[in-house]
Amino acid sequence: MSNSELTPKKTLGFWHIWALGVGAVIGDGIFLLMGEGIATAGSSSIFAYLIAGLSQLFLMIALSELAVGMPNSGAMSLWVKRFLGDWWGFLSGFTFAIGWVIAGGSVGIALGTLTSWYFPQLTEPFWPTLFAILFVTLFALLNILGTNKAANTQLYLVLLLTLIMVLFSIIGLKDIKLENFSPVMPNGWSGFWGAIPLGTYAYLGAVTLATAGGECKNPRDLPRALIWSSLTFIGLYTFAQIVLQGILPWEQFTTSSSPFTEAAGAVFGIAGAFIMNTAAWIAAATCLLMGTLYSSSRIFYAQAKEGYLPRFFGYLHPKTKTPVYGILFVWGASVIFILIGTINPSLIYVELSMQLVLAWMVSWSLALIAAILYRTRSQDEVSQLSFKQPLFPLFPILGFIGIAIVFLGTFIGSPMTLLRGALWMGILYIIFRMFSKNTRHHSTESKSFTQ
């Protein structure tokens, strides 16, 4: 059998996909940048983050029919292509994948910083970078060795993360001080709206599990996992955030360390801080393991099979059936972003993180349009599905409203960010047209030769 005839192994069950959705929620957004959200909005950040989480849930439900009707590794890339054409399909998938590649830098740095916490004697500034590259490399190897190995590791880590966060929330209830919730909006409505994009960044990535369509055993598990993973992380982190803010006053929160680690240390001592730092480490690790390295390599694989990226991205290892070169490319890009972030942190955490959010706004918007067109143009196909989104078109509308809120909150005061985003997408369009033209030319030549 030639490599072009190989297909990914269908080894993922419901719990694997659920863990992919929960674990792909951005680790540094929850465990580090939440401090900035609280400092920005005070206790009203609880509602800001809840709005961001619900927006993700609405998006999940809106895309559920496409997930079960068109399960594939390319996810939104192939969904959008079917209804809007080649370029828009490529843009939707590539922007989602490149967002995860950027996240590989920021989350990798966070993972290195969290690892260094365990070794206070290692004071040299290169240690966080070294730890970050070490674990990105380890997770890349796990992905190459097989989806099942990476998914099982993800599942165990997410179950441990869930257990730690639940115990923290339950035990920490006794230490809540109601006065810490006042004032609700210390920085007014501007602070509240400013926290919503931070909350959205924290919950970014949950749609990643849609890229598991090509490797799930039962396509019906996809929409179930979409919804249940959303409910899990919304409930888990909202409960934990309430306890967190009840333990410490909002003025004490910063981005220099995990607010959860600080709160656990204040209440439970060094043992509590150790356990909570472990939770933060797991959250960052699961983002890299099955977010950056898994999802982006699968989209690159699907786009290469469609002829929109170089062929080597579509290569599968004969034994493990994993897209080896795609994983290696993502690994290399993540290492480069980690090194850039070490030298210039603001480039990663400000400009590139803004481009990440913009890229995913574009990807989600196109996917939502495809979801609406799927329901309206393919009614016979939809009627045969084992799962249908309820109350259509409510959830696509709510999804667009959520995207609009995040877009306005993030970019209304950043015209240069939008301009830079439009510039790189314009360059991407030119490259796409050139590459697709060459692909069609070589395809025509090949057909003529065989004839």
Exposure of 166 by Cβ count < 10 A (0-12 exposed, 13-18 middle, 19+ buried)?
A: middle
SS (H, E, C) 158-227: HHHHHHHHHHHHHHHHHHCCHHHHCCCCCCHHHHHHHHHHHHHHHHCCHHHHHHHHHCECCCCHHHHHHH
Q: CA-CA-CA-CA torsion for 228, 229, 233, 236, nearest 10 degrees?
A: 50
Which pLDDT does position 265 carry in this prediction?
A: 83
Residue 446 has pLDDT above 50, yes or no: no
Q: Domain coordinates of the chain in residue numbers?
A: 10-434
Confidence bin at 129 (pLDDT 50/70/90): very high
CA distances from 430 to 148, 233, 293, 425 (A): 38, 39, 26, 9
Mean pLDDT for the chain overall: 86
Which pLDDT does position 223 carry in this prediction?
A: 82
CATH number of 10-434: 1.20.1740.10
Could you report the per-residue pLDDT of 151-204, keeping only the tens digit for each? 999 999 999 988 988 988 898 888 899 998 988 898 888 888 888 877 877 787
Which pLDDT does position 414 carry in this prediction?
A: 77
For residues 319-348, average pLDDT? 91
For residues 113-132, average pLDDT? 91
Which pLDDT does position 339 carry in this prediction?
A: 94
Q: From CA 60, how far away is CA 230, in angstroms rounded? A: 8
Q: Evaluate if pTM is beyond 0.75.
A: yes
Which pLDDT does position 440 carry in this prediction?
A: 53
Which pLDDT does position 131 carry in this prediction?
A: 96
Confidence bin at 442 (pLDDT 50/70/90): very low
Residue 306 has pLDDT above 70, yes or no: yes
Residue 450 has pLDDT above 50, yes or no: no
For residues 234-240, average pLDDT? 89
Which pLDDT does position 323 carry in this prediction?
A: 93
Confidence bin at 71 (pLDDT 50/70/90): confident
Could you report the per-residue pLDDT of 21-42, keeping only the tens digit for each? 888 776 666 776 787 888 888 8
